[in-house]
Amino acid sequence: MDGVHDLGGVNGFGVVRPEPNEPVFHESWEPIGYALIFVGAGELKAFTIDELRHAIERMDPRHYLTSSYYERIVTGVAALFVEKGYITHETLEAKAGGRFPLALPVTPGERARDESLDLQPGDAVAVRSGHFRGHARMPRYVRGKRGTILHRTTHAFPFAGSAGHGIEAKLEPTYHVKFEAKDLWSDAADNSSVVVDLWESYLEKI
């Protein structure tokens, strides 16, 4: 999905300043997000982690950019519990004691490609281009770019474009794809490279 969550290569957000000796949690409520994931995705099998990622992507952009990491998780999980019928939005807001914004409506997903490319290390590939309304585990800065396969995973994983929408997901291999920085960000980039993990359906063999 194309949205404010995909900020790779975007200017204007300032320098990332890590907090020395940063604790896992800053506030006492923050572990609730993980607990709700274990209940919803683990015990109840109500949703998948890919669906949670897509729910977080669907947050209102202003809400997303002003929320902490754990607030996004709680918002995404709460949205899924409402969408799956485990609780109503009205009940949730009553228990929260006020307004509780959720994710925006679900967008369409996509199926994986039928045929296999059987890519191998050393193969030259191009990443699919275009606009994605649904869940996509493919950053915008590599779309339409050429790279080289470094490694093929030994296991296949449910294709995120389907799994993020709760529809049957084909199992596909993922690949570590190497991109030269100058091919991603022009000659202004330094002489380095970037490795991105991508599902097979996002790639085309050159």
The pLDDT tens digits of the residues spanning 93-135 come to: 999 999 999 999 988 899 999 999 989 999 999 999 988 889 9
Q: Point out which residues pair with 172 in neighbouring strands.
A: 157
Nearest Cα to Cα of residue 166 among 86, 51, 74, 83: 51
The Cβ of residue 37 has, within 10 Å, a number of other Cβ atoms equal to: 18
Domain boundaries for CATH 1.10.472.20 within the chain: 1-106
Indicate whether 9 pLDDT > 80.
no
C-alpha span between 59 and 69 (Å, rounded): 13
pLDDT at position 189, please?
65
Q: Which of these ranges, 1-5, 73-77, 87-91, has the smallest mean pLDDT? A: 1-5
Is 45 in a helix, a strand, or coil? coil
Q: Which CATH superfamily is domain 1-106 in?
A: Nitrile hydratase, beta subunit (1.10.472.20)
pLDDT at position 6, please?
87
Tell me if 183 sits within 8 A of 97, measured CB to CB: no
Q: Could you tell me how many residues make up the chain? A: 206
Tell me if 194 sits within 8 A of 171, measured CB to CB: no
pLDDT at position 120, please?
95
Domain boundaries for CATH 2.30.30.50 within the chain: 124-205
pLDDT, mean of residues 29-56: 96
**pLDDT grade, residue 10 (50/70/90)?**
confident
Secondary-structure class of domain 124-205 per CATH: mainly beta
Supply 38's token pair: 């274990």
C-alpha span between 15 and 12 (Å, rounded): 9
∠ CA 87-55-84, nearest 5°, is 30
pLDDT, mean of residues 169-196: 90
pLDDT at position 14, please?
85
Tell me if 54 sits within 8 A of 132, measured CB to CB: no
Tell me if 108 sits within 8 A of 161, measured CB to CB: no
Angle between helices 69-83 and 89-96 (to 10 degrees): 140
Indicate whether 5 pLDDT > 90.
no
Indicate whether 177 pLDDT > 80.
yes
C-alpha span between 109 and 164 (Å, rounded): 7
Name the pTM for this structure. 0.90
